């Protein structure tokens, strides 16, 4: 679905025209701990609103989807959020 001008001026096209940015991103690291997740969430909350966190089991989960609202947090392929071995990757943004 696309939203665009309705006044007859111009044409509708793909684009973001509603509200804040929604970002789907993934935290990956072998055996993410509760303390590591808590640290990531605290850092995310400094600039975004955390909307949803995927299923998580401390010390077992390796890949965790997190949805935020607001500015996207930049991808980081090396020690994301100051956590050794962690990566942070964008899946989608709206």
Domain boundaries, the chain: 26-93
The whole-chain average pLDDT of the chain stands at 87
Residue 54 DSSP class = -
Contact 54, 32 (CB under 8 A): no
Identify the band that residue 94 occupies on the pLDDT scale cut at 50, 70 and 90.
Answer: confident
CA distance 23 to 25: 6
User: 44-75 pLDDT, tens per residue?
Assistant: 999 999 999 999 999 999 999 999 999 999 99
pLDDT of residue 9: 52
pLDDT of residue 1: 42
| 94 vs 63, more confident | 63
Give the bridge partners for 52, in sequence order: 67
Reduced to 3 states (helix: H, G, I; strand: E, B; else coil), residue 75 is coil
Tokens of 81: 């959020």
Contact 70, 48 (CB under 8 A): yes
Give the bridge partners for 50, in sequence order: 68
């Amino acid at each position: 679905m696309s939203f665009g001008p309705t006044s007859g001026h111009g044409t509708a096209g793909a684009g973001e025209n509603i509200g804040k940015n929604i970002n789907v991103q993934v935290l990956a690291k072998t055996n993410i701990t509760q303390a590591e997740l808590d640290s990531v969430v605290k850092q995310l909350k400094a600039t975004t609103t955390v909307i949803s966190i995927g299923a998580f089991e401390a010390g077992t989960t390796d890949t965790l989807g997190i949805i935020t609202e607001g500015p996207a947090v930049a991808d980081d392929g090396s020690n994301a959020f100051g956590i050794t071995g962690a990566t942070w990757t964008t899946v989608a943004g709206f």
